Structure 1
């Protein structure tokens, strides 16, 4: 008789535990990343007796009640809540985010409420460091898993590489540059940036020095034809007006000579330097009449190569520089005081014309070029240039050109170039892609892949133990989870959070069931008490 009291009591105890599990689930209906718990009931056996009648077993089994043997976590996917915060992340699929505390312990969580701290480290709401791989300049995983740090600014990077990429095209229908007999005073067959008749196209790309200063890299394209009728192009490059020369076979060349195949693709076997450059010394020039005109002893002149031009007006000494576009600029005032015709070597100084005297000027140096070309061909993927000195304190710039994707077909001229430099930039925005790559946007317009989130999964997720605050630890510290980059087993949803997967309707049904079960077990105890009372009354 007394056994039934204790049997019913086990039911009360189990139902009380079940109610605790249900109330915990309901309480966490708004907890981000929470996974519902389910109580597992098992029966208790008070005694079991087996007898045999006519050789057949007869069992007599009396149960001792029930108990909650375990709780099982429901790891099913929760619904997503849109937050519009790019660092709020949710996993669409299997796995857990990895976070590490200050003691070096790694926890696992489905709660993706992350933010940046003052040092740029990605952390969760408890200040734990989110784990992942930092990426190198090419976007590849660099090193082992560790803390993710987002730089608050981007250092300037000097341009070292410029590539002509698709759909860059030189129009095969462009006219050949030849001497125009109708303008006897100008030879259009000799390149001159100041004369648009001496080239077909010009375009520019912005590059950066070691201090992050922008510079204009100009490309002039000149369509030519040799004596055999074969077409080719000359390409002249200048950096802020200074010539960008190509060293090959012991000489520097002013131009790049390129040819194309009959299908319009680049002829990689016929890419050479053209126009060997010769450095000329200092020259003092005297005008032949009071016209302000002076003529260098040798031409044609490499545009932008003219050294300082000095002369005296009264008691004032002027110093002019060549801007690479045919203008001579006063270094002190920035005024245009003269010009140079690169094809003839003629220099004109406006304030020295018709001043009643025969004046002289000194040219510190200049470069000329001829019509020779390099013996050996250049690599179209890596055409190295000579260093160009800058006067702003930055390191000299040495570039590498890649023209492999340049083509020539009967279509309009298209210029598209990429370069690898940048100015200084400050962090203005973050984004996270579906494969867990954290992308930082900086004020200089650059978007850089910073890191990739690490996602962990377990062969048996039930070995995970809740540690509160949405964190889990494996119950065996030596157990190694399966770790992989985001996007492999689950997609990372940016600007969203995974809500609790608690089903309120189901929990209310469980709540009603637990309540009725508790009442029924209580009634068993009441009934046992009444029967025991009747038994006591037999004595009367």
Structure 2
């Protein structure tokens, strides 16, 4: 009878521990990246095989992935498939998580927003390092080096024998803009030629030259480009006016007659200082930067880690996991080997299933009630025995 009493008590302790675990799962049902735990019970036996009640064998992490949800924040990321994000803190500790709530801190480091641990990238050699986008916040200015002249010049017709392209904006090495005007005057000698004059906003002539076309209207070799010197801030740069490949019609051409000239100018390169507009992650975890001038650049690539036995991971606070010394992580990149792909702008939710948790609660409740009843009956029998002995 005494053993039955203690067996019932061990059941109460075991089921209360199980309820603690279920309550923790339920309370974290809305925690991004949280993975629930299952409680496992074990029987306790003496050396002679006598049953001594029940205890907790331990808990095990549920490795099933949670659902993903779009957040509208491009710096968030979720993993579809195997893998964990890799984090590094100031104490040189390494953590792993499925919660990709990433933000950029004041120093330009990509960090996990809850813990402020730095997110790790992986380079071509497989080395891990912090991700810092400070140097990618702006693009330096670039001078204009080439302008494509696209369209036609009409040799005869109702239009005048001249043509003018106004407000051609180019950039110098400091990113400042300069407005140029390109003037065309028909020439009789040599045949099929045009005098070109490039003037700046103050009316200063920067360059003059001759453009000549072949009989078929395509640019003539040696007369299909004009180099325009532009001096700004004490430095001179050359801007090439390109009328196209000789013998082809890829850019400019001449027609015998037409209602009007259609020749225009397309600035191929050059830009002012461009600020970072947005950044996000592609499916390989590569950071994609987009700048105010429309230019796009690639940044670091997120590192992922995988383990031979995910259930051996040690749960830490804030949806983080540690790897025990006996479990070595395998690092890699999204979309390679066994690793899953990255969903930029998404977060993985917890993998808690409330239906399962409520089912476990009912089982625990019944077990707790039964164990309590065993203790009550054992106590009544002991009391009856005591009363019977006292009465004798």
TM range, smaller chain: 0.7 to 0.9
Query: Alpha-carbon deviations, 1:176-215, whole Å to 9, x = none?
Result: x9xx9x9xxxxxxxxxxx857xxxxx9x998654322457
Query: Alpha-carbon deviations, 1:201-249, whole Å to 9, x = none?
Result: x9x9986543224579xxxxxxxxxxxxxxxxxxxxxx9869xxxxxxx
Contact in 1 for aligned 2:195/2:208 (Cα 8 Å): no
- Give the equivalent residue in structure 1 for 2:298: 449
- Give the equivalent residue in structure 1 for 2:232: 392
Contact in 1 for aligned 2:244/2:250 (Cα 8 Å): no
Cα offset for 1:2? 2.1
151-160 or 407-416: bigger deviation: 407-416
Evaluate the alpha carbon distance shift between residue 462 and residue 340 of structure 1 in structure 2; reply closer, same or farther with a 3 A threshold. Answer: closer
- Give the equivalent residue in structure 1 for 2:142: 157
CA distance in structure 2 between the aligned counterparts of 1:422 and 1:14, rounded to whole angstroms = 69
Q: 1:98 aligns with which of 86, 91, 94?
A: 86
Structure of larger gyration radius: 1
Cα offset for 1:66? 1.5
Evaluate the alpha carbon distance shift between residue 516 and residue 32 of structure 1 in structure 2; reply closer, same or farther with a 3 A threshold. Answer: same
Evaluate the alpha carbon distance shift between residue 527 and residue 455 of structure 1 in structure 2; reply closer, same or farther with a 3 A threshold. Answer: same
Cα offset for 1:42? 1.5
Cα offset for 1:15? 0.6
SS at match of 2:17: helix
Evaluate the alpha carbon distance shift between residue 12 and residue 212 of structure 1 in structure 2; reply closer, same or farther with a 3 A threshold. Answer: same
1:210 and 2:176 matched: no
- Give the equivalent residue in structure 2 for 1:70: 58
CA distance in structure 2 between the aligned counterparts of 1:71 and 1:77, rounded to whole angstroms = 18
- Give the equivalent residue in structure 2 for 1:487: 335
- Name structure 2 gaps, 5 residues minimum: 184-192, 212-219, 254-262
Evaluate the alpha carbon distance shift between residue 466 and residue 500 of structure 1 in structure 2; reply closer, same or farther with a 3 A threshold. Answer: same
Number of aligned residue pairs: give it: 354
CA distance in structure 1 between the aligned counterparts of 2:209 and 2:373, rounded to whole angstroms = 113
Evaluate the alpha carbon distance shift between residue 412 and residue 388 of structure 1 in structure 2; reply closer, same or farther with a 3 A threshold. Answer: closer
Cα offset for 1:420? 6.2
Contact in 2 for aligned 1:98/1:107 (Cα 8 Å): yes
Q: 1:132 aligns with which of 121, 127, 143?
A: 121
Q: 2:72 aligns with which of 55, 74, 84?
A: 84
Query: Alpha-carbon deviations, 1:337-372, whole Å to 9, x = none?
Result: 9x98959xxxxxxxxxxxxxxxxxxxxxxxxxxx99
Evaluate the alpha carbon distance shift between residue 372 and residue 73 of structure 1 in structure 2; reply closer, same or farther with a 3 A threshold. Answer: closer
Q: TM-score, normalised by structure 2?
A: 0.73
Q: Over aligned residues, Cα RMSD in angstroms?
A: 4.6
- Give the equivalent residue in structure 2 for 1:145: 128
- Give the equivalent residue in structure 2 for 1:41: 41
1:452-531 aligned at under 5 Å gives the runs 452-476=301-325, 479-488=327-336, 489-531=339-381
- Give the equivalent residue in structure 1 for 2:23: 23
SS at match of 1:97: strand
Contact in 2 for aligned 1:209/1:394 (Cα 8 Å): no
Cα offset for 1:510? 0.7
CA distance in structure 2 between the aligned counterparts of 1:406 and 1:460, rounded to whole angstroms = 66
CA distance in structure 1 between the aligned counterparts of 2:232 and 2:250, rounded to whole angstroms = 42
CA distance in structure 1 between the aligned counterparts of 2:173 and 2:311, rounded to whole angstroms = 55
1:117-266 aligned at under 5 Å gives the runs 117-125=105-113, 126-133=115-122, 141=124, 144-150=127-133, 151-158=136-143, 208-213=171-176
Q: TM-score, normalised by structure 1?
A: 0.55
Cα offset for 1:71? 0.3
Cα offset for 1:5? 2.1
